[in-house]
């Protein structure tokens, strides 16, 4: 009895210490977020005077900061936010549908040589770093665009096209892995009932893919929303069309050390992602894990 | 399916689509400036595929569907990845200017880049950065995972908050940390920002990168740890194993495959690191003497070096050669890593 109680006490003390350590680390991890939030409520002078204290915070100042950032023509927050959202959503839908279609064809023909070759090329391409294709990509897009009369560089469709190309390999890889596990009998039964192959895919296979499509959508979404290099190269630093990361970069470049503006802009830039995370915390974390474990 | 209508509609669509594609291509080759030719090409292709889809055949319908399903993704993939990759490798042997090239120069670009001390420096610090990150992120991530699975209260909260930095893009968090280093913790660092000196700035990049990435690695380790069957841990306990023994003799060997995944992820992502590097220091930093030269790119890692060579210094051919070299290193290093870990996994 006595010993049992002692062990219980020991574990409780250990749990308490662990919790304390956890809190300290959480404070460290969240500290920069706290600083961004806090200093968005201050003017430049009080930020520089003391960036940690509450002195100088006011809602009036937050409103001033917000309006000077949102109305800034170098930043054009709403426009950049809208462009980012449109690019991300269209790319995600296309990647999910086109990726599932391609993955289905590849995994249902996995005994045929052409299918194996395509699959292998997709897998091998995942190691290709963006740096090695970025320069020729820009010139190819520019030349092809000029030749056929479609603007591929400073345009939303051009970027969506590029994201479908870059995200395709990983999407197909994860989806094909899942489709292999879907019993073929289902499709045979549908075929006997007179369902066409495309009907079978859209009515039977696609609904079954819902969980794994969520996974690839989260993985692609995190990457596309935050991506800086591809849009900055394709759209240009100060081009007409810009995504949120490109806009932040351009904004900070023109307001060096104006921390009241920079931190408010940072707050606006991270807010959408944090809100989405708070809503779909579990799905996002599970999606990230599955993507890593399967990739 | 109404086959009579299809028999009529399909050839019409096929011919119309092909005609539109051909006309727009003729306009392209003739140098016509008509703004209609672009949309016409796209619509032509779509119409052609619609005709193909309606093609009245029972025997080949499945094959046609396969082609239509595969085509869009393969096409975008070929145009954005395969063609630029092949072109890029070719361009690295020429005097490419980003728009055209005049002559093939053989290995000149590769020779130039290895004679450049600034590039050698970038390679060196990239390797240091990768090794440091691989070790530290895995260590921190694993310890955090142990902490979160140790049965503490509010585990879900801790998990979510450690993971939070991973949601934010490198550019934005680079600027946030620039503020932290230059304005907040500067008092603790003798009023000289960590970012002001090359050595401490490199360390700062490591700190920020761990901050961003460790939470993600932690999540994967947590999954690995919770997949260890309970009875194995029970058996270890009954056999009188202390916590340290359980950790090193049971838990770590049992999550060997998770360790492989995490090392691979940290390795490749640290290698390709660009955003944080750019936003935090933009590669600046002085090195007094490296191979007898003064360098001003003290914190510039490979990916940023490639970008600056091509975009800022407008030397596309050299940048492309560096990129090809970068690709080769990355491929070799990842292959070695996979080999080594597979061997280790078997041993454990």
Tell me the ipTM for this assembly.
Answer: 0.88
- B9-46 residue pLDDT tens: 888 888 888 888 888 888 878 777 777 788 888 888 88
- Answer yes or no: do B118 and B267 share one domain: yes
Residue B108, min C-alpha distance to chain A (Å): 18
Structure tokens at A249: 């970069």
Q: Residue B348's pLDDT is what?
A: 64
Closest chain B residue to A49 measured between Cα atoms?
A: B183
| Long-range contacts (CB closer than 8 Å, 24 or more residues apart) made by A58-64 | A62/A264
Other CB atoms within 10 Å distance of the CB of residue B233: 15
Tell me how far apart the alpha carbons of residues B75 and B49 are, in angstroms, rounded to a whole number: 14
Give the global pTM: 0.89
Q: Residue B2's pLDDT is what?
A: 57
- Residue where a domain terminates, one of B106, B140, B174: B106
| Lowest-pLDDT range of A91-100, A184-193, B69-78, B184-193 | B184-193
Q: Residue A4's pLDDT is what?
A: 41
| Phi, psi (degrees; rounded to nearest 5) at A15 | -60, -40
Task: Check CB contact under 8 Å for A136 and B320.
Answer: yes
- Answer yes or no: do B87 and B128 share one domain: no
- Answer yes or no: do B186 and B323 share one domain: yes
Residue A69 confidence (pLDDT) above 80:
yes
User: Which residue positions in chain B have pLDDT lower than 70?
Assistant: 1-3, 189, 347-348
Q: Which residue has the tokens 């995600």?
A: A92
Tell me how far apart the alpha carbons of residues A137 and B310 are, in angstroms, rounded to a whole number: 13
Q: Residue A295's pLDDT is what?
A: 60
Under DSSP, the state recorded for A75 is: T
Closest CA to A154 of A101, A212, A232, A213: A232
Q: Residue A220's pLDDT is what?
A: 93
Top residue of B80, B307, B317 to mutate, by most chain A CBs within 10 Å, is B80
Q: Residue A9's pLDDT is what?
A: 67
- Answer yes or no: do B89 and B193 share one domain: no
Top residue of A48, A135, A224 to mutate, by most chain B CBs within 10 Å, is A135
Closest CA to A129 of B330, B170, B261, B79: B330
Q: Residue B80's pLDDT is what?
A: 93
- Answer yes or no: do B199 and B302 share one domain: yes
Burial status of residue B91 (CB atoms within 10 A of its CB: 0-12, 13-18, 19 or more): buried
End-to-end CA distance of chain A: 50
> Domain residue spans in chain A?
87-224
- A117-149 residue pLDDT tens: 999 999 889 889 999 999 999 999 998 888 888
SS3 assignment, position B149? coil
- Residue where a domain terminates, one of B75, B106, B137: B106
Q: How many domains, in total, are found in chain B? A: 2
Domain that holds residue B162: 111-347
Task: Check CB contact under 8 Å for A263 and B170.
Answer: no
| Lowest-pLDDT range of A14-18, A89-93, A109-113 | A14-18
Task: Check CB contact under 8 Å for B184 and A131.
Answer: no
- Residue where a domain terminates, one of B71, B88, B106: B106
Q: Residue B72's pLDDT is what?
A: 93
Closest CA to A202 of B212, B69, B115: B69
Residue A95 confidence (pLDDT) above 60:
yes
Q: Residue B337's pLDDT is what?
A: 86
The helix-helix angle for A281-294 and A210-226 (nearest 10°) equals 90
Task: Check CB contact under 8 Å for A135 and B98.
Answer: yes
Q: What is the count of residue pairs from A and B with beta carbons less than 8 Å apart? A: 269
Tell me how far apart the alpha carbons of residues B283 and B291 are, in angstroms, rounded to a whole number: 19
Task: Check CB contact under 8 Å for B307 and A118.
Answer: no
- B282-339 residue pLDDT tens: 888 888 878 888 888 889 999 999 999 998 888 999 999 999 999 999 999 988 988 8
Residues of B within 8 A of A102 (CB-CB) are 69-70, 72-74
Task: Check CB contact under 8 Å for B272 and A252.
Answer: no
Residue A248, min C-alpha distance to chain B (Å): 7
Closest chain B residue to A197 measured between Cα atoms?
A: B62
- Whether residue A220 contacts residue A231, with contact meaning beta carbons closer than 8 Å, is answered with no
Tell me how far apart the alpha carbons of residues B119 and B110 are, in angstroms, rounded to a whole number: 11
- Answer yes or no: do B266 and B122 share one domain: yes
- Answer yes or no: do B59 and B171 share one domain: no
Closest CA to A29 of B114, B177, B55: B177
- Answer yes or no: do B207 and B315 share one domain: yes
Residue A292: half-sphere exposure toward Cβ, Cα within 13 Å = 26
Fold that domain A87-224 belongs to in CATH = MetI-like fold (1.10.3720)
- Answer yes or no: do B84 and B118 share one domain: no
Q: Which residue has the tokens 């270890």?
A: B236
Q: Residue A2's pLDDT is what?
A: 38
Q: Residue B308's pLDDT is what?
A: 92
Check which CATH number belongs to the domain holding B206 and give it: 1.10.3720.10
- Answer yes or no: do B184 and B67 share one domain: no
| Phi, psi (degrees; rounded to nearest 5) at B290 | -130, 115
Residue among B36, B167, B261 whose CB faces A274 most closely:
B167
Q: Which residue has the tokens 């394709």?
A: A234
Tell me the H-state helices in B116-255: 117-148, 155-163, 170-179, 198-226, 230-238, 243-245, 252-254
Other CB atoms within 10 Å distance of the CB of residue A49: 12
- Answer yes or no: do B60 and B204 share one domain: no
Residues of B within 8 A of A283 (CB-CB) are none
Tell me how far apart the alpha carbons of residues A225 and B167 are, in angstroms, rounded to a whole number: 10
Q: Residue A6's pLDDT is what?
A: 46
Residue among B168, B179, B307 whose CB faces A35 most closely:
B179
Q: Residue A100's pLDDT is what?
A: 95
- Whether residue A242 contacts residue A80, with contact meaning beta carbons closer than 8 Å, is answered with yes
Could you please report the per-residue DSSP string of A139-168? HHHHHHHHHHT---SSSHHHHHHHHHHHHH
- Answer yes or no: do B186 and B246 share one domain: yes
Residue B77, min C-alpha distance to chain A (Å): 4
- A14-38 residue pLDDT tens: 788 888 899 999 999 999 999 999 9
């Amino acid at each position: 009895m006595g010993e049992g109680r002692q062990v219980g006490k020991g574990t409780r003390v250990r749990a308490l210490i662990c919790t304390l350590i956890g809190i300290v680390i959480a404070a460290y991890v969240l500290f920069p977020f706290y600083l961004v939030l806090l200093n968005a409520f201050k003017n430049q002078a009080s930020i520089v005077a003391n960036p940690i204290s509450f002195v100088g915070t006011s809602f009036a100042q937050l409103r001033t900061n917000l309006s000077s950032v949102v109305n800034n023509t170098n930043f054009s927050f709403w426009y950049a936010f809208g462009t980012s959202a449109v690019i991300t959503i269209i790319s995600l839908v296309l990647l999910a549908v086109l990726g599932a279609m391609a993955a289905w064809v590849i995994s249902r023909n996995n005994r045929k040589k052409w299918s194996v070759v395509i699959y292998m090329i997709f897998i091998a391409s995942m190691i290709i770093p963006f740096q090695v294709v970025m320069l020729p990509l820009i010139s190819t897009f520019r030349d092809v665009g000029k030749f056929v009369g479609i603007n591929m560089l400073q345009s939303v469709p051009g970027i969506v096209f590029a994201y479908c190309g870059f995200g395709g390999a990983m999407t197909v890889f994860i989806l094909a892995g899942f489709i292999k596990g879907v019993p073929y009998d289902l499709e045979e039964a549908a075929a006997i009932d007179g369902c066409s192959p495309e009907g079978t895919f859209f009515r039977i296979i696609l609904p079954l893919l819902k969980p794994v499509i969520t996974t690839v959508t989260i993985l692609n979404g995190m990457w596309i929303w935050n991506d800086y290099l591809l849009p900055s190269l394709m759209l240009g630093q100060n081009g007409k069309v810009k995504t949120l990361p490109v806009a932040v970069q351009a904004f900070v470049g023109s307001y060096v050390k104006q921390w009241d503006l920079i931190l408010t802009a940072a707050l606006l830039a991270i807010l959408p992602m944090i809100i989405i995370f708070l809503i779909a915390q579990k799905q996002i974390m599970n999606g990230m894990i599955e993507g890593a474990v399967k990739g | 399916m109404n086959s009579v209508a299809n028999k009529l509609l399909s050839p019409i669509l096929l011919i119309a689509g092909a005609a539109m594609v051909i006309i727009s291509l003729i306009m392209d080759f003739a140098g016509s400036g008509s703004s209609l030719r672009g949309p016409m090409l796209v619509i032509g292709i779509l119409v052609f595929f619609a005709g193909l889809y309606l093609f009245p055949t029972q025997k080949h319908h499945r094959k046609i569907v396969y082609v239509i399903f595969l085509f869009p993704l393969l096409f975008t993939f070929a145009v954005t990845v395969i063609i630029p990759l092949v072109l890029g490798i070719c361009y690295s042997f020429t005097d490419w200017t980003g728009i055209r090239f005049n002559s093939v120069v053989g290995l000149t670009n590769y020779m130039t880049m290895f004679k450049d001390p600034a590039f050698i420096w970038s390679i060196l610090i990239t390797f240091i950065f990768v090794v440091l990150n691989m070790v530290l992120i895995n260590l921190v991530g694993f310890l955090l995972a142990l902490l979160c699975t140790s049965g503490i209260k509010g585990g879900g909260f801790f998990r979510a908050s450690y993971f939070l930095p991973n949601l934010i893009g490198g550019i934005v968090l680079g600027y946030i940390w620039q503020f932290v280093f230059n304005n907040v913790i500067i008092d603790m660092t003798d009023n000289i920002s960590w970012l002001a000196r090359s050595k401490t700035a490199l360390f700062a990049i490591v700190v920020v990168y761990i901050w961003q990435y460790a939470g993600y690695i932690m999540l994967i380790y947590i999954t690995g740890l919770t997949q260890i069957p309970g009875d194995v841990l029970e058996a270890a306990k009954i056999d009188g194993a202390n916590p340290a023994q359980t950790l090193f003799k049971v838990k770590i060997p049992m999550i060997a495959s998770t360790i492989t995944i995490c090392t691979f992820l940290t390795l490749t992502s640290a290698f390709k690191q660009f955003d944080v590097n750019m936003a935090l220091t933009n590669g600046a930093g002085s090195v007094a003497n490296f191979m007898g030269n003064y360098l001003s790119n003290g914190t510039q890692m490979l990916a940023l070096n490639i970008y600056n060579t091509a975009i800022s210094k407008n030397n596309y051919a050299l940048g492309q050669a560096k990129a090809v070299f970068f690709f080769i290193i990355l491929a070799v290093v990842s292959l070695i890593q996979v080999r080594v870990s597979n061997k280790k996994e078997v041993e454990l």
